[in-house]
Chains A and B, each alone.
Chain A
Amino acid sequence: DTAVSQTPKYLVTQMGNDKSIKCEQNLGHDTMYWYKQDSKKFLKIMFSYNNKELIINETVPNRFSPKSPDKAHLNLHINSLELGDSAVYFCASSQFRGTSTDTQYFGPGTRLTVL
Protein backbone atom coordinates (compact mmCIF):
# COMPACT_ATOMS: atom_id res chain seq x y z
CA ASP A 1 0.00 0.00 0.00
CA THR A 2 2.06 2.90 -1.30
CA ALA A 3 1.28 6.10 0.56
CA VAL A 4 2.45 8.53 -2.13
CA SER A 5 2.77 7.17 -5.64
CA GLN A 6 4.00 8.75 -8.83
CA THR A 7 3.77 7.73 -12.46
CA PRO A 8 5.77 7.29 -14.50
CA LYS A 9 8.97 6.39 -12.67
CA TYR A 10 11.08 7.25 -15.70
CA LEU A 11 10.27 9.66 -18.51
CA VAL A 12 12.51 10.23 -21.52
CA THR A 13 11.39 12.77 -24.08
CA GLN A 14 12.54 15.24 -26.71
CA MET A 15 12.96 18.96 -26.26
CA GLY A 16 9.83 20.88 -27.06
CA ASN A 17 7.42 18.11 -26.09
CA ASP A 18 4.68 18.40 -23.46
CA LYS A 19 4.52 15.81 -20.69
CA SER A 20 2.67 15.10 -17.46
CA ILE A 21 3.65 13.43 -14.21
CA LYS A 22 0.90 12.09 -11.96
CA CYS A 23 0.87 11.90 -8.20
CA GLU A 24 -1.61 10.26 -5.87
CA GLN A 25 -1.67 9.97 -2.09
CA ASN A 26 -3.88 7.60 -0.11
CA LEU A 27 -3.14 9.11 3.30
CA GLY A 28 -6.14 11.41 3.38
CA HIS A 29 -3.86 14.43 3.54
CA ASP A 30 -4.98 17.94 2.70
CA THR A 31 -1.71 19.34 1.33
CA MET A 32 0.44 18.16 -1.57
CA TYR A 33 3.73 19.40 -2.98
CA TRP A 34 6.05 19.13 -5.94
CA TYR A 35 9.82 19.27 -5.43
CA LYS A 36 12.58 19.20 -8.03
CA GLN A 37 15.98 17.59 -7.47
CA ASP A 38 18.53 18.70 -10.04
CA SER A 39 21.66 16.96 -11.27
CA LYS A 40 23.64 18.30 -8.31
CA LYS A 41 21.11 16.64 -5.99
CA PHE A 42 19.77 19.97 -4.77
CA LEU A 43 16.12 19.60 -3.71
CA LYS A 44 13.83 22.57 -4.08
CA ILE A 45 10.11 23.08 -3.62
CA MET A 46 8.12 24.09 -6.69
CA PHE A 47 4.46 24.14 -5.66
CA SER A 48 2.11 23.26 -2.88
CA TYR A 49 -1.65 22.78 -2.94
CA ASN A 50 -4.09 22.61 -0.08
CA ASN A 51 -7.53 21.16 -0.82
CA LYS A 52 -7.05 21.84 -4.53
CA GLU A 53 -5.97 25.45 -3.91
CA LEU A 54 -2.51 26.69 -4.92
CA ILE A 55 -0.62 27.82 -1.82
CA ILE A 56 3.04 28.01 -2.87
CA ASN A 57 4.46 28.84 -6.30
CA GLU A 58 8.20 29.22 -6.03
CA THR A 59 8.86 31.33 -9.16
CA VAL A 60 8.60 28.32 -11.40
CA PRO A 61 8.39 29.03 -15.16
CA ASN A 62 4.88 29.23 -16.60
CA ARG A 63 5.63 26.11 -18.62
CA PHE A 64 5.02 24.17 -15.42
CA SER A 65 1.37 23.90 -14.48
CA PRO A 66 0.22 21.85 -11.52
CA LYS A 67 -3.33 20.56 -11.54
CA SER A 68 -5.23 19.14 -8.60
CA PRO A 69 -8.47 17.41 -9.66
CA ASP A 70 -9.12 16.43 -6.05
CA LYS A 71 -7.17 16.59 -2.82
CA ALA A 72 -5.69 13.11 -3.32
CA HIS A 73 -4.10 13.98 -6.66
CA LEU A 74 -1.61 16.59 -7.78
CA ASN A 75 -0.38 16.29 -11.34
CA LEU A 76 2.43 18.26 -12.94
CA HIS A 77 2.16 19.24 -16.57
CA ILE A 78 5.22 20.62 -18.34
CA ASN A 79 4.96 22.39 -21.70
CA SER A 80 7.75 22.90 -24.22
CA LEU A 81 10.30 20.84 -22.34
CA GLU A 82 13.85 22.17 -22.16
CA LEU A 83 17.15 20.43 -21.45
CA GLY A 84 17.30 22.14 -18.07
CA ASP A 85 14.08 20.47 -17.00
CA SER A 86 15.93 17.16 -16.71
CA ALA A 87 15.74 16.26 -13.03
CA VAL A 88 14.03 14.01 -10.55
CA TYR A 89 10.61 15.30 -9.52
CA PHE A 90 9.21 14.32 -6.15
CA CYS A 91 5.65 14.60 -5.02
CA ALA A 92 4.91 14.87 -1.30
CA SER A 93 1.93 15.24 0.99
CA SER A 94 1.22 16.34 4.53
CA GLN A 95 -1.86 16.25 6.68
CA PHE A 96 -2.22 19.94 7.32
CA ARG A 97 -1.00 23.22 5.91
CA GLY A 98 0.74 26.00 7.68
CA THR A 99 2.25 24.04 10.53
CA SER A 100 5.86 23.85 11.60
CA THR A 101 5.65 20.28 12.83
CA ASP A 102 3.74 18.36 10.18
CA THR A 103 5.59 15.49 8.50
CA GLN A 104 5.86 15.44 4.74
CA TYR A 105 5.66 12.06 3.01
CA PHE A 106 7.50 11.80 -0.29
CA GLY A 107 6.85 9.69 -3.33
CA PRO A 108 9.54 7.61 -5.04
CA GLY A 109 10.29 10.25 -7.65
CA THR A 110 10.02 10.56 -11.42
CA ARG A 111 13.28 10.85 -13.33
CA LEU A 112 12.71 13.11 -16.32
CA THR A 113 15.33 13.15 -19.07
CA VAL A 114 14.99 15.68 -21.86
CA LEU A 115 17.06 14.94 -24.97
Chain B
Amino acid sequence: DAKTTQPNSMESNEEEPVHLPCNHSTISGTDYIHWYRQLPSQGPEYVIHGLTSNVNNRMASLAIAEDRKSSTLILHRATLRDAAVYYCILRGYNTDKLIFGTGTRLQVFP
Protein backbone atom coordinates (compact mmCIF):
# COMPACT_ATOMS: atom_id res chain seq x y z
CA ASP B 1 0.00 0.00 0.00
CA ALA B 2 1.35 3.40 -0.98
CA LYS B 3 2.38 5.65 1.88
CA THR B 4 1.48 9.27 2.63
CA THR B 5 3.50 11.87 4.51
CA GLN B 6 1.88 14.74 6.38
CA PRO B 7 3.17 17.35 8.82
CA ASN B 8 2.49 16.38 12.42
CA SER B 9 0.72 19.62 13.24
CA MET B 10 -0.42 22.93 11.83
CA GLU B 11 -1.99 26.05 13.27
CA SER B 12 -4.45 28.55 11.90
CA ASN B 13 -6.49 31.47 13.04
CA GLU B 14 -10.23 31.42 12.78
CA GLU B 15 -11.69 32.54 9.45
CA GLU B 16 -8.35 32.17 7.67
CA PRO B 17 -7.76 29.65 4.89
CA VAL B 18 -5.83 26.51 5.77
CA HIS B 19 -3.78 24.43 3.36
CA LEU B 20 -2.99 20.94 4.62
CA PRO B 21 -0.32 19.24 2.50
CA CYS B 22 0.15 15.55 1.80
CA ASN B 23 2.97 13.85 -0.08
CA HIS B 24 2.39 10.52 -1.78
CA SER B 25 5.29 10.04 -4.15
CA THR B 26 4.65 6.30 -4.64
CA ILE B 27 1.01 6.70 -5.63
CA SER B 28 -0.15 4.35 -8.36
CA GLY B 29 -2.37 5.29 -11.27
CA THR B 30 -5.48 3.72 -9.73
CA ASP B 31 -5.07 5.09 -6.20
CA TYR B 32 -7.71 7.54 -5.05
CA ILE B 33 -6.73 10.26 -2.58
CA HIS B 34 -9.11 10.40 0.37
CA TRP B 35 -9.20 12.79 3.30
CA TYR B 36 -10.86 12.01 6.60
CA ARG B 37 -10.76 14.00 9.81
CA GLN B 38 -11.22 13.03 13.42
CA LEU B 39 -12.65 15.61 15.78
CA PRO B 40 -11.73 15.21 19.46
CA SER B 41 -13.39 12.18 21.06
CA GLN B 42 -15.24 11.27 17.87
CA GLY B 43 -14.93 8.77 15.08
CA PRO B 44 -13.31 9.74 11.80
CA GLU B 45 -15.49 11.49 9.24
CA TYR B 46 -15.15 11.72 5.49
CA VAL B 47 -14.04 15.05 4.07
CA ILE B 48 -13.32 14.66 0.36
CA HIS B 49 -11.69 12.43 -2.24
CA GLY B 50 -10.29 12.72 -5.75
CA LEU B 51 -8.32 10.93 -8.44
CA THR B 52 -6.74 13.46 -10.80
CA SER B 53 -8.81 16.62 -10.97
CA ASN B 54 -9.31 19.16 -8.23
CA VAL B 55 -12.50 18.63 -6.25
CA ASN B 56 -14.78 20.88 -4.24
CA ASN B 57 -17.53 20.10 -1.79
CA ARG B 58 -19.27 21.93 1.01
CA MET B 59 -16.57 21.05 3.51
CA ALA B 60 -13.34 21.63 1.61
CA SER B 61 -11.42 21.64 -1.64
CA LEU B 62 -8.84 19.14 -2.78
CA ALA B 63 -6.03 20.29 -5.01
CA ILE B 64 -4.09 17.47 -6.68
CA ALA B 65 -0.69 18.06 -8.26
CA GLU B 66 -0.38 17.30 -11.94
CA ASP B 67 2.00 14.40 -11.28
CA ARG B 68 -0.29 13.24 -8.43
CA LYS B 69 2.65 12.93 -6.06
CA SER B 70 1.17 15.44 -3.68
CA SER B 71 -2.16 16.96 -2.78
CA THR B 72 -3.49 19.74 -0.58
CA LEU B 73 -6.67 19.89 1.42
CA ILE B 74 -7.98 23.43 1.56
CA LEU B 75 -10.33 24.70 4.23
CA HIS B 76 -11.43 28.05 2.91
CA ARG B 77 -12.31 29.63 6.23
CA ALA B 78 -11.24 27.73 9.31
CA THR B 79 -13.60 27.62 12.25
CA LEU B 80 -12.97 26.41 15.78
CA ARG B 81 -14.96 23.31 14.89
CA ASP B 82 -12.37 22.41 12.23
CA ALA B 83 -9.79 21.63 14.92
CA ALA B 84 -9.12 17.95 14.33
CA VAL B 85 -6.62 15.42 13.08
CA TYR B 86 -6.72 15.29 9.27
CA TYR B 87 -5.75 12.08 7.54
CA CYS B 88 -4.66 11.81 3.93
CA ILE B 89 -5.25 8.24 2.73
CA LEU B 90 -4.50 6.50 -0.55
CA ARG B 91 -7.12 3.97 -1.47
CA GLY B 92 -6.15 1.34 -4.00
CA TYR B 93 -8.26 -0.09 -6.75
CA ASN B 94 -11.31 -1.87 -5.35
CA THR B 95 -9.96 -1.64 -1.82
CA ASP B 96 -12.32 -1.68 1.13
CA LYS B 97 -9.93 -0.81 3.89
CA LEU B 98 -8.71 2.62 4.88
CA ILE B 99 -5.07 2.72 5.96
CA PHE B 100 -4.64 5.61 8.35
CA GLY B 101 -1.26 7.28 8.91
CA THR B 102 -0.44 9.66 11.72
CA GLY B 103 -2.29 12.60 10.19
CA THR B 104 -1.95 16.34 10.79
CA ARG B 105 -3.30 17.82 13.98
CA LEU B 106 -4.86 21.18 13.10
CA GLN B 107 -5.25 23.75 15.84
CA VAL B 108 -7.51 26.73 15.20
CA PHE B 109 -7.19 29.83 17.33
CA PRO B 110 -9.91 32.44 17.87
Chain A residues near B (Cβ < 8 Å): 4, 31, 33, 35, 41-45, 48, 50, 55-56, 58, 90, 92, 94, 97-101, 103-109
A sample of 18 more A-B contacts (CB under 8 A), given A44-B100, A48-B96, is: A31-B96, A35-B98, A43-B38, A45-B98, A48-B97, A56-B96, A58-B97, A98-B94, A98-B95, A100-B30, A100-B94, A101-B32, A103-B46, A103-B49, A104-B44, A104-B98, A106-B45, A109-B42
Q: Are B44 and A90 in contact (CB under 8 A)?
A: yes
Of the listed stretches B18-26, B68-76, B85-93, name the one at the interface; the rest are far from the partner chain: B85-93
B2: interface (CB < 8 Å): no
Q: Which B residues lie within 8 Å of A50 (CB)? A: 96
Among B36, B45, B85, contact of A41 (Cβ-Cβ < 8 Å)? B85
B65: interface (CB < 8 Å): no
Where chain A touches its partner, the secondary structure class is strand
